[in-house]
Amino acid sequence: MDDSTDAPEPRPHGTREAVLFGGVYGAVLASAMVAALTEYGHSSQASRRYDALWLLVTAFASALAHGYAHYIAERGPHRGWEILRILADEWPLVAAVIPTVFILAGAGWGWWSASGVEYPAFVLNILILFVLGLVTARRSARSRPMAVLIGAGDALLGVVVVVANALIH
């Protein structure tokens, strides 16, 4: 008897859902990492280059962990290479940290001051959270004023998560 026909197919994750989830996760991850690296690190150019690399490695590790968790949670009749597709679907998380990586790397390469670079990184990630909230609200047929409020709420929630994370560490 073939049990594989009785198992439900894994639920595919839509691109929109993956981009929104990855964007939010990546923006919060980038802000939390910058806060932690700034608090416990130095603000020299060399340390900012290291911070940029460390953030990129952390983003890839988080994406792999999240993709692997999806694979395990949706254990079912997966085909041979399907785990690679599931892992590749986590690209929005990595893409969301790239702007912060460039801010840190730019400070490390001397394009701007290495000291205080965490503030533009935080502002950028809060802006990303705002835009993701705004876009999601508009696609859900919310009015423009309501979409702006939802975007601001999402950005504020992101700030709370980052501050809480910084306080815990």
φ/ψ region of 110 (left if φ > 0, alpha if ψ in -120 to 50, else beta) reads: left
pTM for the model stands at 0.81
More confident site: 69 or 148:
148
Q: Give me the pLDDT at residue 2, please.
A: 47
Mean pLDDT, rounded, of the chain? 84
Q: Distance of CA 59 to CAs 74, 80, 161, Å?
A: 22, 25, 17
Supply 141's token pair.
Answer: 């047929």
Q: Distance of CA 8 to CAs 4, 27, 68, 111, 118, Å?
A: 9, 33, 19, 53, 46
Which are the contacts of 112, defined by CB distance < 8 A and separation ≥ 6?
Answer: 106
* Residue 76 to residue 133: CA distance in whole angstroms: 33
Tens-digit pLDDT profile for residues 115-149 = 989 889 999 999 999 999 999 899 888 999 999 99
